[in-house]
Structure 1
Amino acid sequence: MKIKMNIKLVIMALVLTTSCSDLIDPAVENIQRKDLIRERPSMVQGLLLNAYLRIPTNGYNFSEMATDDAVSNDLDNGFLNMATGQWASNFNPVDRWNAANSAIQYLNEMLTEVGNTEYASNPQVNQMFLDRLTGETHALRALFMYYLLQAHGGVAGGELLGVPIFLEPQSVDSDFNMPRATFDDCMAQLYSDLNTAMDLLPMDYNNIGDESMIPSKYREGGTGVNDYNRVFGDDAKQLVSGRVARAIRAQAALLAASPSFNLDNDQAKWGDAATYAGELLNDIGGISGLDPNGVTWYSNASVIDGLGAGNNPPEILWRGSIGGPTNDLETQNFPPTLYGEGLVNPTQNLVDAFPMANGYPINDPAAGYSAESPYAERDPRLAQFILINGSTAGSTGSTINTALDSDTNDGLNKVETSTRTGYYMRKLLRQDVNLDPVASTGQRHLQPRMRYTEFFLIYAEAANEAWGPLASGSFSFSAYDVIKAIRQRAGIGLDNNDPYLESIKGDQDAMRQLIRNERRLELSFEGFRFWDLRRWGADLTETAQGMRIQNEDDYSIIDVENRVYQDYMIYGPVPYSELLKFSALQQNTGW
């Protein structure tokens, strides 16, 4: 007891003899000036890390809840409020202005500082590090430009505008009051950054075992295998690579070619998007590179659990860290009887978008659809992506009853965490997660930033617009070939050769609608639908519907939530707070 009292007295004496400023102000050695940072390569690379941490696809936000694909059972949800009439320039749940511009500020600072630091004593190794870091930085700056254009590009004063272009780090002395550049100028800068990145980065990061595999510009300088692997080897996997830069180019080109951002209907832009996506697909073998297990990429347990050392399964082009076992997604989205919050409720609109297993849309006379048995003989993806009434789920294989007269809280509108539509989301969730508080377990989850299926669909959409359904430009596969392969992988038309697809394969308009629908299904709940509807200039106001089931077999479609959008909302707003600060900024028309 006496010893403890002496320790307390010593601590009190130290505190009393320490000035207030010492307690509150950071020590001088903790304030990192640029000249000190330059001596620490890891701190310089921290500028780059700040940009990586701001990539929107590091996680899911379920913006589908603001579309015709889903609603939220949380009545305070921002997407719900947005979709029902509250979207404004000062209330914008899909705002990317500040996060993306902050990332670009870090990246511009990185480009200023990257050449002022020594990363290795060997000059050739140092140059390789400099090339890689510079390439990563340019690619990431292009990526954030893409996100800014997607969220904030639009028509203002009769002109299609993008965002202000900043290529230098801003300081307190900088002129922040910069006008928005044109959309085309922003795209030109994006392409310029990507060209620089592709010149500097390898297609992929992998350890090599032979000097002949070292690019000549390094090999001729005396670089050996170990030196090359140190910079561009396995340890760099999941950093931005040349492949990722090419993928960003395809994504941005599709945006620029789309109706809302291609006001002159320039067909060459569709050709660019098809070419950029096609080149990526060629590198994995074209149609043969479509992962046969890609539909259930999120629940292929043996594949996910066996991944290590930054490796990707065939479906994933780029991903974030897998990390340890978690159950956050399941906690958020499992139905109540599985101890979940049931947040994302798929709509009847989305359910109706799944065709029959024979390939026909459910409203086609040849489909064989029955309103009395609405889930029979349907596209297998319906049961894989959505929990319908009678589905089994969770590690215990529990039967989920979503009917209005269900005797469980999984039923329609039973409690706050129940479904509002008669459906729960199944996609993305590991069914081997157990949320029972007595025996709670988590599982590893993939977090893809880019999937190859997205690029097959980019190619199909762009190739159909540029060359028609059956033509293939300089490639060996057409839009029709891609869609046929995707549908076959899903289990559609396997017994009858997909007669619906065959009947429309020469019709560009009908193929356009089918491609858009396949994109809706394949990429559901991954954050695409909100942006797709707007770039297509499609109807945003389709009422979100659900299914009410009573007495086991009495099915009736119900209206769940009105969608309140104006025509000008195909473009997002410039933040109101930015307009108050900077007079040179123009707001998009209507906002």
Structure 2
Amino acid sequence: MKNIFKFLVLMLVITSCDDVFEPAIENIRDLDAMDKEPAYAQGILANAYILLPYSSNPGSDVATDNAVSNDINNYYLAMATGSWSSQSNPLSQWEGRQNAIQYINLFLERTDEVLYSQNEAINTMFNDRLKGEAYALRALHMYYLLLAHGGWSDDGRLLGTTIRTEPETAVSNFNVPRNTFQECVNQMFADIDMAIDLLPLDYGDIGDSEIPEKYKSLGVTNAGDYNRANGNHIRGRISGRIIEAVKAQIALLAASPAYQAGTDIGYEDAAGYAALVLNRINGVAGLDMNGNTWYSNDDIDNLDAGVAPSEIIWRSTMESSNELEKENFPPSLFGNGRINPTQNLVDAFPMRNGYPISDVSYDPENPYFNRDPRLEKYIVLNESEQGSGDEVIVTGTYSNNSNGLNKDNGYSTRTGYYLRKLLRSDCNPDPEFNTEQKHYTARIRYTEIFLAYAEAANEAWGPTGTGGASSYSAYDVVKAIRQRAGIDSDDLYLESIKSDQDMMRELIRNERRIELCFENHAFGICGVGKWLI
């Protein structure tokens, strides 16, 4: 009887508890909540921004003949010495890009049902812009997926990756074949065209007279309503101008020798897409005269949120830091000296008169004299100055500190050179001061698109042809970039090759190598030219 009584009491206690045999409600929100909560919907899309493939770390150049690292644990070094596998692949874009595309597809599946505003016209403007961002971001992430994982199969097919335009679930079929490279290009271009139709060219506050006609037709007459959706506070997100530049990047990749046999994109197409971007800034006349030192120009400290300087099409958020300097300053300046430019890269910089160093004017006994000014702007040379105190950095073996060649295997240079590009001399990693300054990552620069145009135009129409895409030629672009760099205005070398397509091709490759060094452009996007180890 006692046992029966105890059992009855226990049952009473159990049945009086709420759902004791059911798991407690977890703080995991269902996607249906997006419909009534626009902030939640935008949070889903925000993941595609968080997962953007751009990096402020210049480390990928150590996997090329541009640089080496003094870090024995560097993952590119590990890759080169036998540790490259599917579980350890620093070049992989698979997980990050696929994750981003999944978030984008989740957003696109539901955004038309989300209530962004009670006002129908304002709701449409918000939905248009956010859908445009999603299509643009899907094309961008797929581009980087294609860069890393597209290629020729053993049976001679040019394959891309699997195209996914619907969100995947636990019961989705994951065992699907890859699409062709051409199908991937078509999908990216379709997404970009959708994005361009939905996005403004640039974000920014406008006046009543500037409201786009498609929104006027919906009854939008107050610019304040338009600015809520597309005004100054949106700057920094992907826009029509940015995705046009991405389209130019994709076209150059598809037209390049690595892939042109498997696509219908030609150099004329690639030049045309690049020209569309460049013509918006008046072509060669719009080249920023200080653009090759974008990372240290005076305007950095005064940039408003989301505003890009004239050299930059798209940049990251500004951050105050000295991490790049801690990693790459020489040891005497409290840095780790990680990225060491190679003699190969140093030799790629021409003489000031424009001729390669194979020209007789080069003096091996005085190797840095009368060289392209970009050499000293980008690389710390032996007995040059660096840091806020203009310290003379001796990198030779005769150095009396750890700055010298192989003086300290953990921190000294392995090549006789240290990195200067991307670093700010007014940062001071000395723990006593720990001075930080503003930095940002240049995601897409106009100089890159100028060089893409030059590359494609030279292949399509020769060094001085335009083919109707613009009024300027590959020759015009290269001349402007080299004059900005400080090459003599008569540039006798350029003049000597301007009728030779093959030599112009080599010069464009070299200019790309110099201008974009240490900006993570080494893999896959150097169309005509390939200078990887």
| Fold shared per TM-score above 0.5 | yes
**What is the Cα deviation at residue 40 of structure 1?**
1.3
How do 1:2-41 and structure 2 match up within 5 A?
Answer: 28=25, 30-41=27-38
**What is the Cα deviation at residue 539 of structure 1?**
6.0
Q: Is the 2:254–2:263 contact (alpha carbons within 8 Å) kept by the matching residues of 1?
A: no
The structure 2 residue matched to 1:334, chosen from 329, 333, 336, is 329
**What is the Cα deviation at residue 206 of structure 1?**
1.1
**What is the Cα deviation at residue 540 of structure 1?**
4.1
**Equivalent residue for 1:393?**
386
**Equivalent residue for 1:79?**
76
Q: Does residue 292 of structure 2 align to residue 295 of structure 1?
A: yes
Q: Deviations over 1:356-385 (max 9, x none)?
A: 0010000123xx100000000000000000
Q: Is the 1:410–1:419 contact (alpha carbons within 8 Å) kept by the matching residues of 2?
A: yes
Letter in 1 for 2:375: L
Q: Distance in 2 between matches of 1:234 and 1:460?
A: 33
**What is the Cα deviation at residue 85 of structure 1?**
4.8
**What is the Cα deviation at residue 60 of structure 1?**
2.6
Letter in 2 for 1:119: Y
**Equivalent residue for 1:510?**
503
How do 1:122-137 and structure 2 match up within 5 A?
Answer: 122-137=119-134
**Equivalent residue for 1:486?**
481
**Equivalent residue for 1:567?**
none
**What is the Cα deviation at residue 262 of structure 1?**
1.2
Q: Distance in 2 between matches of 1:536 and 1:88?
A: 28
Q: Does residue 471 of structure 2 align to residue 473 of structure 1?
A: no
Q: Distance in 2 between matches of 1:352 and 1:346?
A: 11
**What is the Cα deviation at residue 264 of structure 1?**
5.8
Q: Distance in 2 between matches of 1:345 and 1:221?
A: 58
Q: Identify the range of structure 1 (476-485 vs 79-88) with the bigger mean alpha-carbon deviation.
A: 79-88
> CA 1:253 to 1:453, structure 2 compared with 1: closer, same or farther past 3 Å?
same
SS of match in other structure, 2:254: helix
Percent identity, please.
Answer: 54
Q: Does residue 106 of structure 2 align to residue 109 of structure 1?
A: yes
Letter in 2 for 1:180: R
Q: Distance in 1 between matches of 2:46 and 2:202?
A: 19
Q: Distance in 1 between matches of 2:140 and 2:525?
A: 17
**Equivalent residue for 1:408?**
401
Q: Distance in 1 between matches of 2:219 and 2:532?
A: 59
How do 1:84-233 and structure 2 match up within 5 A?
Answer: 84-156=81-153, 157-209=155-207, 211-223=208-220, 224-233=222-231
TM-score by structure 1 length? 0.84
**What is the Cα deviation at residue 33 of structure 1?**
1.4
SS of match in other structure, 1:408: coil
Q: Is the 2:271–2:457 contact (alpha carbons within 8 Å) kept by the matching residues of 1?
A: yes
TM-score by structure 2 length? 0.93
Q: Does residue 318 of structure 2 align to residue 322 of structure 1?
A: yes
**Equivalent residue for 1:250?**
248
SS of match in other structure, 1:444: strand
Q: Does residue 526 of structure 2 align to residue 528 of structure 1?
A: no
The structure 1 residue matched to 2:411, chosen from 414, 417, 421, is 417
Q: Is the 2:316–2:441 contact (alpha carbons within 8 Å) kept by the matching residues of 1?
A: yes
**What is the Cα deviation at residue 493 of structure 1?**
1.6
**What is the Cα deviation at residue 537 of structure 1?**
7.4
**Equivalent residue for 1:464?**
458
SS of match in other structure, 2:258: helix
Letter in 2 for 1:43: Y
Q: Distance in 2 between matches of 1:447 and 1:436?
A: 24
Q: Distance in 2 between matches of 1:218 and 1:89?
A: 49
**What is the Cα deviation at residue 76 of structure 1?**
1.5
**Equivalent residue for 1:306?**
302
Q: Deviations over 1:97-145 (max 9, x none)?
A: 1110010000000101111210111100000000001000000000011
**Equivalent residue for 1:445?**
439
SS of match in other structure, 2:460: helix
**What is the Cα deviation at residue 27 of structure 1?**
6.8
Letter in 1 for 2:140: L
Could you tell me which runs of 5 or more consecutive residues in structure 1 were left unpaired when the two chains were aligned: 1-20, 542-591
Q: Deviations over 1:435-467 (max 9, x none)?
A: 111111100012111111110011000111111
Letter in 1 for 2:31: K
Q: Distance in 2 between matches of 1:536 and 1:26?
A: 59
**Equivalent residue for 1:359?**
354
Q: Distance in 1 between matches of 2:365 and 2:253?
A: 41
Matched positions, count: 510
**Equivalent residue for 1:581?**
none
Q: Distance in 2 between matches of 1:433 and 1:27?
A: 52
CA RMSD of aligned residues (A): 1.8
**Equivalent residue for 1:343?**
338
Q: Is the 1:65–1:72 contact (alpha carbons within 8 Å) kept by the matching residues of 2?
A: yes
Q: Identify the range of structure 1 (184-193 vs 40-49) with the bigger mean alpha-carbon deviation.
A: 40-49
Q: Distance in 2 between matches of 1:404 and 1:56?
A: 39
Letter in 2 for 1:419: T
Q: Distance in 1 between matches of 2:528 and 2:98?
A: 26
Q: Is the 1:260–1:537 contact (alpha carbons within 8 Å) kept by the matching residues of 2?
A: no
**Equivalent residue for 2:8?**
none
Q: Distance in 2 between matches of 1:498 and 1:471?
A: 19
SS of match in other structure, 1:529: coil
Letter in 2 for 1:308: D
Q: Distance in 2 between matches of 1:88 and 1:251?
A: 28
Q: Distance in 2 between matches of 1:26 and 1:519?
A: 59
> CA 1:350 to 1:326, structure 2 compared with 1: closer, same or farther past 3 Å?
same
**What is the Cα deviation at residue 212 of structure 1?**
2.6
Q: Distance in 2 between matches of 1:58 and 1:425?
A: 17
Q: Distance in 2 between matches of 1:392 and 1:174?
A: 59
How do 1:553-564 and structure 2 match up within 5 A?
Answer: none
Q: Distance in 1 between matches of 2:198 and 2:186?
A: 19
> CA 1:353 to 1:537, structure 2 compared with 1: closer, same or farther past 3 Å?
closer
Letter in 2 for 1:322: M
Letter in 2 for 1:121: Q
Q: Is the 2:455–2:528 contact (alpha carbons within 8 Å) kept by the matching residues of 1?
A: no
Q: Distance in 1 between matches of 2:231 and 2:401?
A: 53
Q: Is the 2:404–2:416 contact (alpha carbons within 8 Å) kept by the matching residues of 1?
A: yes
Q: Distance in 2 between matches of 1:89 and 1:326?
A: 33
Q: Is the 1:58–1:320 contact (alpha carbons within 8 Å) kept by the matching residues of 2?
A: no
Could you tell me which runs of 5 or more consecutive residues in structure 2 were left unpaired when the two chains were aligned: 1-17
> CA 1:515 to 1:84, structure 2 compared with 1: closer, same or farther past 3 Å?
farther
> CA 1:26 to 1:68, structure 2 compared with 1: closer, same or farther past 3 Å?
farther
**What is the Cα deviation at residue 245 of structure 1?**
1.1
Q: Is the 1:66–1:530 contact (alpha carbons within 8 Å) kept by the matching residues of 2?
A: no
Q: Is the 1:67–1:83 contact (alpha carbons within 8 Å) kept by the matching residues of 2?
A: no
Q: Is the 2:68–2:342 contact (alpha carbons within 8 Å) kept by the matching residues of 1?
A: yes
Q: Distance in 2 between matches of 1:144 and 1:227?
A: 31
Q: Is the 2:466–2:472 contact (alpha carbons within 8 Å) kept by the matching residues of 1?
A: yes
Q: Distance in 1 between matches of 2:291 and 2:278?
A: 15
